[in-house]
């Protein structure tokens, strides 16, 4: 059987390029052929707004993660919110980042002062974490938006 040649495993039959999931709304221009005056707005149709276009600048580098905790509550990041994480962005001072700390993903604000890195929570009940060389730490990505459902 001829399929896309794949050397790794026979059960993967196809490899797609990145698929933009957004469906463009089809705008039916001039579908109404009945007699009468054409819509005066017809000339002004510009398409609809696409949230992906607004929120995601590097699709291949963008991931969604879900918040499980309250340490960033004063930054407007609540439990169960979805964060949009762009790994293409460089972490810098004051950015909210996803960090790997001791093998776990955590969300904090990054503080860089005199080459000293620390992770700051935005909730007084949590301590700041100073990054030292012996720590298992790296930056996983930079948070660009939080999606919060209103109660």
Partner 1 sequence: MKKKDIFALIDCNNFYVSCERVFQPSLRNKPVGVLSNNDGCIVALSDELKKLNIPRGTPGFKIKHLLKKYDIKLFSSNYALYADMSARVMEILYQFTPDVEIYSIDEAFLSLVGFEHLNLTDYGKKIQKTVKQWTGIPVSVGIGPTKTLAKIANRIAKKHKGYKSVFNILNHPKTDEILASIDVKHIWGVGPRYAKMLHRHRICNALELANAPQNWVKKRMTIVGLKTCKELKGISCLDLEMDISPKKEIVSSRSFGKPVSTLEELQEAASSYCIRAVEKLRSQRSVASGIMVYIATNPFKDEPQYVNFANSRLSTPSAFTPDFLKLVNKDVETLFRSGYKYKKVGVMINDIVSEENAPLDFFEPSYLDDERKTIMDCVDNINKKRGNNKVTFAKVGTKQRWKMKREKLTPQYTTKWNELPLVKD
135 binds partner 1 (CB under 8 A): no
129 binds partner 1 (CB under 8 A): no
Q: Which is nearer to partner 1, 38 or 79 (CB)?
A: 79
Q: Site residues for partner 1, window 55-84 (CB under 8 A)?
A: 58-61, 63-71, 82-83
- The CA distance from 62 to 48, in Å, is 23
Q: Which is nearer to partner 1, 18 or 44 (CB)?
A: 18
2 binds partner 1 (CB under 8 A): yes
- The CA distance from 120 to 130, in Å, is 9
- CA 9 to chain centroid, in Å, comes to 30
Residues facing 110 on adjacent strands: 119
138 to 67, 82, 84, 100, 118: CA distances (angstroms):
19, 21, 18, 5, 12
Among 45, 55, 88, 116, binds partner 1 (CB under 8 A): 88
**Strand (E) or helix (H) holding 97:** strand 96-101
Token output for 11: 């059960």
- Closest Cα to residue 148, out of 65, 68, 81? 81
18 binds partner 1 (CB under 8 A): yes
Only one of the segments 24-32, 35-43, 49-57, 104-112 lies at the binding site for partner 1 (rule: CB under 8 A); that segment is: 104-112
Backbone φ and ψ of 75, nearest 5°: -95, 5
Q: Which is nearer to partner 1, 26 or 44 (CB)?
A: 26
Q: Which is nearer to partner 1, 87 or 111 (CB)?
A: 87
Shortest distance in whole angstroms from residue 44 CB to partner 1: 27
Binding site for partner 1 (CB under 8 A): 1-3, 5-9, 11-19, 58-61, 63-71, 82-83, 87-88, 98, 100, 102-107, 121, 126, 136, 140
């Amino acid at each position: 059987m001829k399929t896309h040649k794949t050397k790794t495993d026979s059960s993967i039959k196809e490899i797609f390029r990145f698929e933009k999931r957004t469906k463009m709304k089809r705008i039916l221009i001039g579908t109404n052929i009945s007699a009468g005056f054409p819509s005066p707005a017809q000339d002004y149709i510009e398409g609809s707004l696409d949230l992906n276009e607004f929120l995601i600048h590097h699709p291949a580098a963008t991931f969604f993660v879900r918040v499980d905790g309250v340490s960033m509550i004063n930054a407007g990041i609540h439990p169960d919110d979805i964060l949009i994480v762009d790994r293409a962005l460089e972490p810098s001072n004051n950015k909210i980042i996803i960090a790997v700390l001791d093998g776990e993903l955590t969300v904090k604000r990054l503080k860089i002062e005199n080459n000293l890195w620390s992770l700051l929570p935005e909730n007084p009940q949590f301590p700041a974490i100073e990054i030292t060389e012996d720590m298992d730490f790296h930056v996983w990505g930079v948070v660009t938006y939080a999606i919060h459902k209103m109660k």
